[in-house]
Amino acid sequence: MSEKIKGFSKLSKTGKIQWLANNHFDKPEQAIKLLEQYWNEDSAVQKLHDEFSENTVSNFYMPFGIAPNFLINGKVYAVPMAIEESSVVAASAKSASFWMERGGFKAEVISMKKIGHVHFVYTGAEEKLFSFFERNKDKFYKDTESITKNMRMRGGGVLDIILKNKSEIEEGYYQLEANFDTRDSMGANFVNSCLEQFSQTLEREISLDSSFSDEEKNVQIIMSILSNYTPECVVRSEVSCTTEELVEGSGISSEEFVEKFSRAVHIAEHEPYRATTHNKGIMNGVDAVVIATGNDFRAVEAGAHTYATKDGKYSSLSHVELKDGIFRFWIEMPLSLGTVGGLTSLHPLVKFSHELLGNPDAEELMMIAATVGLAQNFGALRSLTTTGIQKGHMKMHLLNILNQLEATEEEKRYFVDYFRTRTATHSAVVEEFHRLRGIPMPEKVDVNKR
Ligand code: MEV
């Protein structure tokens, strides 16, 4: 254990690396070499990446893959996906191609409002506060005019501000709740700046208002912050086709497939254990697009899972219906995304992603990301209810296992061929690898990797 370091952030990049290598690694040279190996050779690009965050010492690579053939509202996209989990991009691409041949995805943005709150405590009479708020409401808008000017010019801004009594949660707890239209930006900084100004206006105006006693004037601002739960920034995407089209060429009976698929969705709608994994699969697709386009996947995750509980119990974000021989499968979820600001014009690969998608606006990007989530979910459910997930997953994971075993390119080709007709479990790959090389199996087998 190394001792506490003071002023780590003030060290130069080389200083930070030296300290890390000397204090945390048995072979400092190797550690330094590894970190440097991941630097961009163009020092300007490296500097750009270093400045995205703090205490940066290297870059952390993620695979950047493409899922082509996404037909959404009549337009074809090749979708960029940043994700490390094998088989996600392949599953998305497979579903996209499948649905392209069946009319593609129809998506729509239902609403685009962002929301935030000033959380505060006021201990006086409720009516006094409400009447004060109505008398002074204009001042909240006026005081934020310099912050909202550009956004208003783009057609957005503060939509409304309301006062809420939340004293059932905590004595004297109130909120100023505000809705915002942030146009094509995700808008976190804009929303938070407005909210912080609202809190100052609130404190100032109450202190100047003679209808309040000195004690009542003593409002305590707890915090001013946007909410990542955006139930009014929601997108929907759906696919539909006849049940015959659904199984065309697969040799599976349409009744059986639709019945099992629908039951799988129904289970996720009612059983939180399954819903969590079901939604995780959806987020495999959504997050990969969110990351590739420079958006905040933590915000998207948090909002999506809260939305999944909106009816009082954690449930599926996707739904299915079979009516008059037509299979319909759709997703509805909140997605607060931006196509301007943040990393969108800074990170070279993020810029590339936006260009690849035809520089969509925020609404279009919401539709693309939700659609990839739906495609991912369709692919997962189709595998789960037919062949099982491991067949396809392990096929994609095979290269990871072979890389761990340090297989040569020739050996990799052999294994891909060998497991074309066999199930590639971890132990089966390891066994065949040792047999092929004519070396004994290691005695201690890590059961966790099976
Ligand atoms: C794995 O990352 C995602 C799945 O578990 C999703 C699901 O079960 O629906 C395959």
Out of 296, 305, 354, 364, the active site residue is 296
Nearest to 392 by CA among 407, 380, 376, 405: 380
Distance 283 CA to ligand 1 centre (A): 10
Phi, psi of 336 (to 5 degrees): -100, 100
pLDDT at 446: 52
Rounded to whole angstroms, the Cα distance separating 311 from 305 reads 12
Out of 13, 217, 280, 351, the active site residue is 280
Out of 13, 85, 143, 260, the active site residue is 85
pLDDT at 343: 87
Rounded to whole angstroms, the Cα distance separating 112 from 18 reads 48
Domains of the chain: 8-50 (no CATH), 66-110+235-387 (3.90.770.10), 114-226 (3.30.70.420), 393-449 (no CATH)
User: Ligand 1, atom 1: nearest CA belongs to which residue?
Assistant: 281
Distance 276 CA to ligand 1 centre (A): 9
Distance 92 CA to ligand 1 centre (A): 12
pLDDT at 1: 59
Give just the sign of the alpha carbon dihedral 49, 299, 338, 141.
negative
Nearest to 88 by CA among 425, 392, 427: 392
**How many residues are there in the chain?**
450
Rounded to whole angstroms, the Cα distance separating 174 from 51 reads 39
- In this structure, the dihedral spanned by the alpha carbons of residues 140, 142, 143 and 148, taken in order and rounded to 10 degrees, is 100
393 is a catalytic site residue: yes
280 is a catalytic site residue: yes
Our mutation pick for probing the ligand 1 site, out of 287, 377, 389, 394, counting the most ligand atoms within 8 A of Cβ, is 389
Q: Is 298 exposed, middle or buried (0-12, 13-18, 19+ CB in 10 A)?
A: exposed
Helices (H), 243-388: 243-247, 254-270, 272-292, 297-307, 348-356, 362-385
Our mutation pick for probing the ligand 1 site, out of 260, 265, 284, counting the most ligand atoms within 8 A of Cβ, is 284
Q: Is 374 exposed, middle or buried (0-12, 13-18, 19+ CB in 10 A)?
A: buried
What is the block-wise mean pLDDT of the chain (450 residues), using blocks of 10 residues? 87 97 97 98 96 97 97 98 95 97 98 98 97 98 97 97 98 98 96 98 97 95 98 98 90 91 98 98 98 98 98 98 97 98 92 98 98 98 87 78 92 90 87 93 58
Rounded to whole angstroms, the Cα distance separating 120 from 116 reads 13
85 is a catalytic site residue: yes
Rounded to whole angstroms, the Cα distance separating 287 from 121 reads 37
Could you count the other beta carbons within 10 Å of the beta carbon of residue 219? Answer: 21
pLDDT at 2: 64
Out of 393, 395, 397, 426, the active site residue is 393
